[in-house]
Structure 1
Amino acid sequence: MIPKLIPGGSHSDIRGTLTFNNDFDATSIKRMYTIENADVYSIRGWQGHKIEQRWFSAINGTFKIQILSIDYFEKGLKDLKPYCFVLKADKMDILHVPAGFVSSIQAQEVGAKLLVLADYKVGEVDDEFRFEYHPDDFLTIE
């Protein structure tokens, strides 16, 4: 399984705007939280899971999210390249990150907020993996 964007949409009329994602199946979700980076220069990465899955959706602003197989770090498979996604709050696109991947998350504007959904509760499994983020890691990936 690879990371995949589940497209959302929006509808506007005289009453306002409705954003939606009719293709997202939330039956696996056990918890949720939000991330707000301190500024647009901070990058949260690389961290991820071998067992847990995550789903990301921008609820305010825009985020650049890079996803990379844990094998890049653990097996030294340095020829692997990250998947790169841009999530915007104007429609409810949802990025699915399956088990076995790590992410780097960067807000693209001040005040951006990211919704994160997880399929395990806190402490249910010991599955947190973190790897050092280098400022020049994949900066040219779009």
Structure 2
Amino acid sequence: MKQIKLPNLIKGGIHTDERGQISFINDFKFDIIERFYIICNSDEYPLRGWHGHKIDNKFFYCVHGKVRVHFVKIDNWESPSKDLQIENILLTSEESNILHIPEGYANAIEFLESSSKLISFTTLPLTNVEEDSVRYPFDYWLINE
């Protein structure tokens, strides 16, 4: 029987004392991570997406500011339904959490504050990206928020 994987939030914490602040996510494991990117959108184009992954898993961590990650479970890679349910999670630098989006989803990243920064961790080697990556127009699914 195939295991059904759903997006989930890996919670961390922030410790502050007279020396400063430490953000941590002790339950996040790096053993499957192949590479990472730091993303900072322009104020003119605060939305990146939609980007789907057939076999890659994505992990998102907000380093600075506020970012909303929208995601849909793809029903058909060549012609997905336009009325798929859009879910989203708000990530902020004030909370130390990582959003895991498993394979089979498309995501769009919305930068809510100027100079927000997001780290995207990925599980797929760069040599396999072409066979996995599916892009849709940024307005394929309308975000109403």
**TM-score, length of structure 2 as denominator length:** 0.87
- 1:112 is aligned to 116
Q: CA deviation at 1:16?
A: 0.6
Matched residue pairs, number?
140
Structure 1 distance, partners of 2:7, 2:90, is: 13
Structure 1 residue ranges, 4+ long, deviating more than 2 angstroms after superposition: 72-80
Q: CA deviation at 1:136?
A: 7.3
- Which sections of structure 1, spanning at least 5 residues, go unmatched? none
- Pairing partner for 2:66 from 62, 65, 77: 62
Structure 1 distance, partners of 2:24, 2:101, is: 19
Q: What secondary structure sits across from 1:123 in the alignment? A: helix
RMSD of aligned Cα (Å): 1.9
Structure 2 distance, partners of 1:57, 1:44, is: 15
Q: CA deviation at 1:75?
A: 5.5
Structure 1 distance, partners of 2:88, 2:36, is: 22
Structure 2 distance, partners of 1:120, 1:77, is: 26
Preserved CA contact (<8 Å) 1:19 1:90: no
Using the aligned pairs only, state the percent identity.
Answer: 34
- 1:28 is aligned to 32
Q: CA deviation at 1:134?
A: 1.6
Q: CA deviation at 1:91?
A: 2.8
Q: CA deviation at 1:121?
A: 2.1
Preserved CA contact (<8 Å) 1:73 1:131: no
- 1:131 is aligned to 136
Structure 2 distance, partners of 1:42, 1:5, is: 23
- 1:6 is aligned to 10
**TM-score, length of structure 1 as denominator length:** 0.89
Structure 2 distance, partners of 1:120, 1:135, is: 25
